[in-house]
Structure 1
């Protein structure tokens, strides 16, 4: 049987069926990158930022990493050690330290070239953005292997039907075949509903916490199911200034590279502001006020990752490196406040 806990939003939704058209039924021919997106479940949009600007944002990300003062120096490769950077998830995703609200992160989110593809996809420029994190991953070839294996998953609960969320990576560094980057199961998102109809979720689902209700992990046999239907694993290659978009129903994970490059990206996801309930709007304003990092979802499933903790003598205590606010705060322009959900359109 399917999971018994189904949110009202899962069951009824807040928008019309036409706004959440199933990609299986996609009949429209756009004559642009959207055709690739709906067919493959992902797309690379080249040069949404000039390369020199992307490199400058990467420099600001590295300056942020150096600001913790625990040994990391971008110009001294001997300092590229795991113990010289603050704690992160999966080797480089910074879920704490007010990382999501640093000025350079908001500057990236407010870039017209980053916003425009989402506006084109959703058919509106009145959008809200996720308080998603950044990824600054030191290379395994220098720091040693990370304790993380491939973790194929989707970021949309099986109960949510249709296109509900499109995630984004703003690439600030190279992501070639041997560099760290995104791996997708090409063509898997159009099969999302079929997969869960044929393979309903049964048994315990320990990952289905409130924070991770829009998360589902896959097993090897599930990858075989998709491969049998013509899907293939692709390492997505991109350059600094490129935008990678993928459907949250697309199977994906992050791959560590074999090169000596520092992977540097900003995660940015936008959805129509009208999709956000008043309750979620109030919550989002509070999260914004407190500089919290949240999930990939901009308009719902708004849960904080909380504060960084460490274990000392068997007890969890606050990480002394934790920050209550960014070291460089963004200017709270009207554009930023509307994207943040703190001001209505």
Structure 2
């Protein structure tokens, strides 16, 4: 059997985004009973779906499980003692609470979230199929920290999660919100309507393409100067207010960022993305299974993914709390067993 090669985020050199020569999945649209959230998503580039996980389970299982994960490193963090809420007491992360190492995406509570029936059903409705594959993306366990301990002093970091060279709708991301998320709390912030203008922007702005090209990894960083084009077309920043158990989906082209907690409320969320299994090639399936076996965290796309940086670095600890027990739905979504 040939060795499985896992493209890496830190040294990706592809001339195009992964899988750019293959078609993108299409949303299941036009049904008489099309849900309102799907209509909202098409119009605005994001939508909030209420009570996808029960409030009780969000607060009494997922929130404590996230705290257990942080405290389990024994670096000094104590969930109940704000004096310990300091970067030196937390595992390595970015932007104040995004975790992409330590097999975060394979923690037991994360796999439990990925296989929540209503979350799976939401993506089944979105794509019009029950045969789905799931992402190995990270999550946010954001504890209020001094702003000078956070990248960019906790200022916005607007980006899209698709390359300029993949302008069509290609991926839909999501997260279950775990803790109360009000206007001043940390959480997803989106530039409403920007996803539907993403392709037009790059058609009009090709003259701005730098000699070294834009990134062929799926991602694009925006500045206030470049965002003015979207503002001029009516796009506005929105921070969805969500209760524990609410779920938000967004088009990967949507300009967005994770706002950092500005007060004492924490922000916990798990990134979950499903796509039709039919768009996962046999080569990608082999990579996916290998990444799962190694406990790697990957980028958001369940099919056209690359491995996040530092998975084999000394700082990274694979499966710090043991391997997860994955149910039948999860095993199918990995590719371990057939639908």
* Kept after mapping to 2: 8 A contact 1:82/1:143: no
Instruction: Answer yes or no: is the 8 Å Cα contact 2:96–2:149 preserved in 1.
Output: no
Q: Which residue of 2 aligns with 1:307?
A: 311
**Deviation for aligned residue 1:147:** 2.6
Helix, strand or coil for the counterpart of 2:307?
A: coil
Confirm or deny: 8 A CA contact 1:283 1:302 kept in the other structure: no
State the Cα distance separating 1:107 from its structure 2 match: 0.2
Q: Which runs of 5+ in 1 are unaligned?
A: 310-317
Mapped pair 1:274 → 2:278: yes
Aligned match of 1:160 in 152, 155, 166? 166
Maintained 8 Å contact 2:164/2:214? no
Q: Which residue of 1 aligns with 2:123?
A: 118
The answer to whether residue 331 in structure 2 is matched with residue 324 in structure 1 is: no
SS at match of 2:62: helix
TM-score, scaled to structure 2? 0.88
8 Å CA contact retained: 2:160, 2:254 = yes
Deviations 1:220-263 (A, max 9, x none): 12211111111101112211101010000111111112220111
Instruction: Check 1:260–1:116 CA distance in 2 against 1; reply closer, same or farther (3 A cut).
Output: same
Is the CA contact 1:291–1:326 (under 8 Å) kept in the aligned structure 2?
no
Shift of 1:117: 1.2
Which stretch shows the higher mean deviation, 102-111 or 88-97? 88-97
Distance 1:231-1:28 versus aligned 2 partners, 3 A rule: farther
The aligned counterpart of 1:131 is: 136
Name structure 2 gaps, 5 residues minimum. 1-13
Q: CA offsets per residue over residues 145-184 of structure 1, 9 Å max, x none? A: 5232322111112222432100111111111100001111
Q: Does 1:79 align with 2:84?
A: yes
Is 1:179 the equivalent of 2:185? yes
RMSD (CA atoms) = 2.4
Q: Which residue is 1:312 aligned to?
A: none
1:97-132 residue CA offsets vs partner (Å, 9 max, x unmatched): 111101000000000111111111111111111101
In structure 2, C-alpha distance between the alignment counterparts of 1:338 and 1:27, rounded to whole Å: 28
Deviations 1:159-213 (A, max 9, x none): 224321001111111111000011111011111111110012511558726xxx1
Answer yes or no: is the 8 Å Cα contact 1:284–1:342 preserved in 2. Answer: no
Which secondary structure does the structure 1 equivalent of 2:250 belong to? Answer: strand
> Is contact 2:167–2:253 with CA below 8 Å preserved after alignment?
no
Q: Following superposition of structure 1 onto structure 2, how do residues 132-151 of structure 1 map, counting pairs within 5 Å?
A: 132-140=137-145, 146-148=150-152, 149-151=155-157
Q: Report the CA distance shift for 1:78/1:254 in structure 2 as closer, same or farther (over 3 A).
A: same
After superposition, the C-alpha distances for 1:8-49 in whole angstroms (9 at most, x for unaligned) are 832x4245xxx437xxxx888835211100000000000101
Structure 1 runs of 4+ with >6 Å offset: 26-29
Query: What residue is the counterpart of 1:65 in the other structure?
Result: 70
CA contact 1:287–1:304 (8 Å) conserved in 2? no
Partner Cα distance (1:137, 1:205) in 2: 35
Q: Is the 8 A contact 1:92 1:137 kept in 2?
A: yes
Q: Distance in 1 between matches of 2:194 and 2:168?
A: 13
Q: Distance in 1 between matches of 2:62 and 2:286?
A: 30
Whether the aligned pair in 2 keeps the contact of 1:292 and 1:305 (CA below 8 Å) is no
How far apart, in 2, do the equivalents of 1:295 and 1:91 lie? 18
Q: How far apart are the structure 2 equivalents of 1:305 and 1:270?
A: 22
TM-score, structure 1 normalization: 0.87
1:237 to 227, 234, 241: 241
